[in-house]
Amino acid sequence: MNNLEMKDVWKSYKQRNKEEVTVLKGINMLVKQGDMVAIMGPSGSGKTTLLNIVSGIDCYDKGEIYIEDSDLSDLNKEEVALFRRRRLGMVFQDFNLIESLSAKENILLPMILEKRFADEQEEQAERILKILNIQDIQNKNIAEISGGQKQRVAIGRALINNPAIILADEPTGNLDSRSTKEVMDYFTLINQELTTSILLVTHDTFAASYCNKVVLLKDGVFKNEIDKKGSRKQFIDSITEMLAIIGGEQDDIL
């Protein structure tokens, strides 16, 4: 099954000086059930725009986007919002958790909004807390837990409604290397055990190396893609090489 398909998607923005900048120039992309894909590319290349378009946070000018074979353009604003809540899981660089709620309440938020039965919520929370190994911090306030734990809570919230795909924008951008490894290990676990598709944006070659495929976005199009072959170390070398050759200035990307 295809969990996400983008066909010839275009997006431009009007800048403050009224000049129009075309950020995405005919994007085609296919994410199948169980894929784990990283999008890399220079700052300003449109990675966040692409995720925001898929999630419905931003609109697109032209093209087609299908999530589990539903055409997003067939839906009105309210339906897109509902669809997002039910079928997409979102994870952000700065966690976007609600500080006044506990870790468990944050995870349950999408179910609370859906007014799901209390016993169903309990059952799901227990399952998700166990998968992410955060049972012991479930009643803590967000301010009391570490960055890595916060991101695991955010992943739990993304996962609670059994989404078709998780979209993650620089999910390790605010984490140290230990927490980065931990969070990427959990993404991998979810991807392998629950076959949840994951599309993540990252500047970090190490984080990208956990994925099965890395695509490079530059100048509004996908310039290159590489599939994981061999060991993680070999994949890191291939990604680094791709960034060096096609990405131009390495400093611009990493």
Ligand X SMILES: Nc1ncnc2c1ncn2[C@@H]1O[C@H](COP(=O)(O)OP(=O)(O)OP(=O)(O)O)[C@@H](O)[C@H]1O
Residues at the site binding ligand X, with contacts judged by CB under 6 A: 13, 15, 21, 23, 41, 43-49
Contact 196, 187 (CB under 8 A): no
Contact 173, 149 (CB under 8 A): no
Q: Which does 11 bind (CB under 5 to 8 A by kind): ligand X, Mg ion, none?
A: none
- Strand locations in the chain (E): 2-14, 20-32, 36-40, 62-67, 70-71, 88-92, 165-169, 197-201, 213-218, 221-227
Q: How far is the CB of 253 from Mg ion (least distance, A)?
A: 12
Q: Which does 49 bind (CB under 5 to 8 A by kind): Mg ion, ligand X, none?
A: ligand X
Q: Which does 23 bind (CB under 5 to 8 A by kind): ligand X, Mg ion, none?
A: ligand X
Q: Which does 248 bind (CB under 5 to 8 A by kind): ligand X, Mg ion, none?
A: none
Beta strand 20-32 with 2-14 is antiparallel
Question: By C-beta, is 34 or 173 nearer to ligand X?
Answer: 173
Q: Residue type for 21, please?
A: V
Backbone angles phi, psi at 134, to 5 degrees: -125, 30
Q: Which residues of 176-210 are buried (b: 16+ CB within 10 A; e: fewer)?
A: eeebbbbbbebbeebbeeeebbbbbbbbbbebbbb
Q: Which does 45 bind (CB under 5 to 8 A by kind): ligand X, Mg ion, none?
A: ligand X
Interacting residue with Mg ion among 45, 48, 52, 209 (CB under 5 A) = 48
Part in contact with Mg ion (CB under 5 A); list of ranges 6-14, 41-49, 117-125, 185-193: 41-49
CA nearest to 36, candidates 217, 253, 240, 215: 215
Question: By C-beta, is 48 or 121 nearer to Mg ion?
Answer: 48
Q: How far is the CB of 103 from ligand X (least distance, A)?
A: 27
Question: By C-beta, is 105 or 170 nearer to ligand X?
Answer: 170
CA distances from 228 to 37, 131, 212 (A): 10, 25, 5
The answer to whether residue 106 forms part of the interface with Mg ion (CB under 5 A) is: no
Question: By C-beta, is 23 or 153 nearer to ligand X?
Answer: 23
Question: By C-beta, is 107 or 243 nearer to ligand X?
Answer: 243
Question: By C-beta, is 41 or 156 nearer to Mg ion?
Answer: 41
Q: How far is the CB of 34 from Mg ion (least distance, A)?
A: 25
Residue 117 region, left (φ>0) first, then alpha (ψ -120 to 50), else beta?
A: beta
Which stretches of the chain bind Mg ion, using CB under 5 A?
48
